[in-house]
Structure 1
């Protein structure tokens, strides 16, 4: 099934780029319209009824978040929104989360990066379409749908309270809360079934599948019962049973009415994010335990990217590892928001694979399992593991580039030496040699040392002084003329180098008897 997409951006080049470089049809989408501001976007959403809206944040007349807010105040359901933003605009993520938006694309948009995000969105749209096909007959199923709407900011429906009044166990509820459970995809179905079995005896509870493979459990308790009753006991059993697996459980802040459950959802999501830096938290992480520990949405990604990409270009694995260690320390010290770190890492992996195609998957099945970009986008991966995958990607890139350089260098040193011998009288430098032979200057310098046993400069001076010695013995040229002829612009440098190589001055050498 194909889904309609509306593109909103005040930069025509950005719209044109997304139209041209993204294969919408192959990804299961069709473009239904474009516009350049939020006001026009509201009009086109009503007219075209898109399934997906990709919108920039900063636009004239009405920005992207204002448009979404205005739309959600008057409409329900479709479309799904994707936010376009730069690194400096991640503060907008706080507002976007409250609207139920979990998809972002960084500018500039890379086609491969966008394709991965769109595949995930297409899958979500398919799942949502399938869910809409199933007619919810039972009162409990209807309640789940209405409560899910509350989580995403919809206003309380009067029908919801009528449904809850008819369900056994929901009468007398005075406190509401929510637990979020996230695990690896292969465990999700099994864990969901086990959670349903463990909590079946607890009546005031509904379970639902949320975005990004998260299981949501909304539950109520009588106002006079202290928090931490039966349902938390069941959740602790679940946590113990899956203790060896990758499972994260977070509880939000309690609310005294069900219409306020969206705030519990927000706070539970915030608590869940703290597993990013502390994946070994024991038991269940409650919002009250991390309240006041906020994340930073600003980070100097340029310095990190330059350090890592320079290390790859220079084939310096040690420098690459040190840069990642420094990134680990700075991420933790600044408590950078997990979604910011994740986007930076994915962006870096795309840049590294541009330098060394194949580094993302290591050229084989084993590498793909260890460092796949798609898996990073789909799973909640702690910082340690995320940086380990970035380390693997960089090390593989450096290894691939070194092998490529070694293949190119096979037999090329002779050509380089011949070129130096033919051009040593000229203004020759390692940079010029690198341009002639299409090699990185640092790598070229290291290659010459390895093969010739001396640096490029030593080799150059040796050839020049040898030629000067021949001219001194076989011509009547002035010393300054000889210096210039063999490549020295500075006569003083010629004298200094000659004495160092020949252990006597050029005039003494000319008249010496051997």
Structure 2
């Protein structure tokens, strides 16, 4: 088992990372957690972890300062960065410190598992490589050199002629299926196909972790357009070859660092390619991601504010068209909404998810306010889907299908009392627990005042009165059992104040619980005679 240290100043995020993710699946155990870089350094000194997973923005010592300190004192430790999209300028700086990857908040389980599984393989390779170099196994020197170059270690000892060329590092990233399903056989297959495809340009190839790294070099400067077509053809060839040879739909993303010159800069281009890969959320259906294309983004607060305002206007139009059932307007407004999201490289993923959630949650509320029926939605399932989907493209496809389902649904299938039905069901299933109007409205994702109004309108009762009546009816059933104490029954049905239970019981039944039990017992005795 390899050791990992988790660093984040937000306690809830830190604890969730430590306790909720399956570290063992990736071959790791958490040896501790820290709230800032300074505390992390003390734990690193004591436990010497193999990997440090750290947030960027923290007090005392931030993630960048921590990464720099680790690189200077513990260069063998691998660092993973937790980052938000508005941290771009910080992430650019982090590239100088040999960061092994970027996990974008909110981070998903699969992303953690994939990243850590890849690092576990790298750690194993490093161990094997160190042993091979120590005992002098022939043929190991070139691979050892390539690993040193991407890590930025011992670079001055290498003097291969091609290292003096202009260069771009290309990273091919594979999902977890790559390691778990096919292992070494597919690695050899991919390496063979890759070497054959790039042989004319003498491109060196390295498998490192779950990534295939290519070192594209030339005596002339290498532009994006020199490489893009060749890489896209390689992408198509590799996917087709894997499907033909293994019957597998290949999960593959290719990212490219900026052009550099000199062996000491190779690790920078490599880290740029790793960072570009993290933008797959926006460009998942694009075959190639270039780091230089991300440089137009940044943390322009004025732009972000304007983009959010524009999004709100379009979302409002979209929801109005859905409620009015004008299909042409719905299609047009949906396209406008998606077009606005294409500017999302200036927005956080969280902001995009909130926009989708707002549409799903607000539509039923507006429909109720206008007296317009729409099909009921499983809001909990919808929200889980919005936050689980790993790409903007798939999320857009899902929303389009959901909107079309709402727009096309026949009137007779629509349910005007769904909120009330769900609330009643919840009360009957959970009457023994604490239930408040605010909590119930929160679970239904509607405003408490609106929920109170529709519940009263549909049932003729206030929500709290309805809860009390359900509890009293359950108490009546229990009071027929002489073995149960009245005080215990009041707690069992959700009343933790005995005098209040007596008061409510009398209001609903007409007599206090003790009198009810006495009368019921007498009645039973008479029946038995």
TM-score after normalising by structure 1: 0.54
Hey, what's the Cα distance between the residues in 1 that align with 2:7 and 2:277?
32
Say yes or no: does 1:33 pair with 2:32: yes
1:64 paired residue number: 63
Q: Is the 8 A contact 2:103 2:112 kept in 1?
A: no
Match of 2:298 in 1: 296
Report the Cα offset of residue 258 of structure 1: 1.7
Name the CA distance, whole Å, in 2 between partners of 1:233 and 1:308: 37
255, 262, 278: which is aligned to 1:257?
262
- The aligned residue for residue 174 of structure 1 is 164
**Greater radius of gyration (CA):** 1
Alignment match, 2:234: 238
Q: Deviations over 1:307-349 (max 9, x none)?
A: 8799899986979876753443334457538xx45x6556778
Conserved? CA contact 2:81–2:99, under 8 Å: no
Counterpart of 1:434 in structure 2 is: 454
State the Cα RMSD in Å: 5.6
2:110 aligned to which of 116, 120, 124: 116
Change (3 A) 1:207 1:51: same
1:22 touches 1:114 (CA, 8 Å); kept in 2?
no
Map of 1:46 onto structure 2: 45
Could you report, residue by residue, the CA deviation over 1:165-189 in whole angstroms, capped at 9, with x for unpaired residues? Answer: xxxxxx4763141352547758986
Say whether the 8 Å CA contact 1:346–1:373 is kept in structure 2.
no
CA distance in 2, matches of 1:264, 1:320: 44
Preserved contact between residue 70 and residue 77 of structure 2 (Cα < 8 Å): no
Question: For 1:116-147, what per-residue CA distance to the aligned partner results, in whole angstroms no more than 9, with x for missing partners?
Answer: 33222332233224434544566664433443
**Unpaired segments of 5 or more residues in structure 2?**
179-185, 241-249, 362-376, 425-448, 460-529
Q: Is 1:388 aligned to 2:397, yes or no? A: yes
C-alpha contact (below 8 Å) 2:353/2:387 kept by paired residues: no
Supply the distance in 1 between the matched residues of 2:290 and 2:16 (Cα, whole angstroms): 44
1:94 to 84, 92, 95: 92
Shift of residue 16, structure 1, vs aligned partner: 4.5
Q: Distance in 1 between matches of 2:319 and 2:20?
A: 27
1:75 aligns with 2:74: yes
**Aligned to 2:296, what secondary structure does the other structure show?**
coil
Rounded Cα–Cα distance in structure 2 between residues aligned with 1:195 and 1:87? 33
Distance 2:126 2:259 in 1: 30
Say if 1:143 and 1:160, in contact at 8 Å, map to a contact too: no
What is the CA–CA distance in structure 2 between the aligned matches of 1:97 and 1:320, rounded to whole Å?
Answer: 43
| 1:144-159 correspondence to structure 2 within 5 Å | 144-152=143-151, 154-159=152-157
Name 1:160's counterpart in structure 2: 158
Contact kept, 8 Å, 1:356 with 1:397, in 2: the verdict is no
**Does the 8 Å CA contact 1:182/1:214 hold for their aligned counterparts?**
yes
* 1:127 paired to 2:126: no
Alignment of 1:447-486 (within 5 A): none
Residue in 1 aligned with 2:379?
356
The whole-number CA distance in structure 1 between the counterparts of 2:458 and 2:356 is 25
Structure 1, residues 230-276: CA drift from partner, whole Å, max 9, x if none?
A: 99997686367469899776665544422222344356668889999
Structure 2 CA distance, aligned partners of 1:263 and 1:123? 23
Match of 2:335 in 1: 325
In structure 2, the CA distance between the partners of 1:191 and 1:94, relative to structure 1 (3 Å rule), is same
Q: Deviations over 1:30-76 (max 9, x none)?
A: 43223332122112112112244333333332111111111112222
Conserved 8 A contact 2:5-2:51: yes
Higher helix share: 2
Question: 1:94: how far off?
Answer: 2.4
Shift of 1:197: 1.6
Query: Gapped runs of 5+ residues in structure 1?
Result: 165-170, 363-370, 416-428, 440-514
Separation in 2 of the partners of 1:210 and 1:63? 28
| Distance verdict in 2 for CA 1:398–1:68, change over 3 Å | farther
Q: CA deviation at 1:100?
A: 2.5
Q: Is the 1:11–1:36 Cα contact (8 Å) retained in structure 2?
A: yes
Q: How has the CA–CA distance of structure 1 residues 266 and 158 changed in structure 2, closer, same or farther, with 3 Å as cutoff?
A: closer
In 1: Cα distance, 2:380 partner to 2:68 partner: 41
Partner of 1:453: none
- SS in structure 1 opposite 2:116? helix
- Judging changes above 3 Å, is the alpha-carbon distance between structure 1 residues 286 and 47 closer, same or farther for their aligned structure 2 residues? closer
Q: 2:415 aligns with which of 406, 415, 420?
A: 406
Calculate the TM-score normalised by the size of structure 2. 0.53
**2:12 and 2:120 mapped to 1: Cα distance?**
30
Question: Are the counterparts in 2 of residues 7 and 35 from structure 1 also a CA contact under 8 Å?
Answer: yes
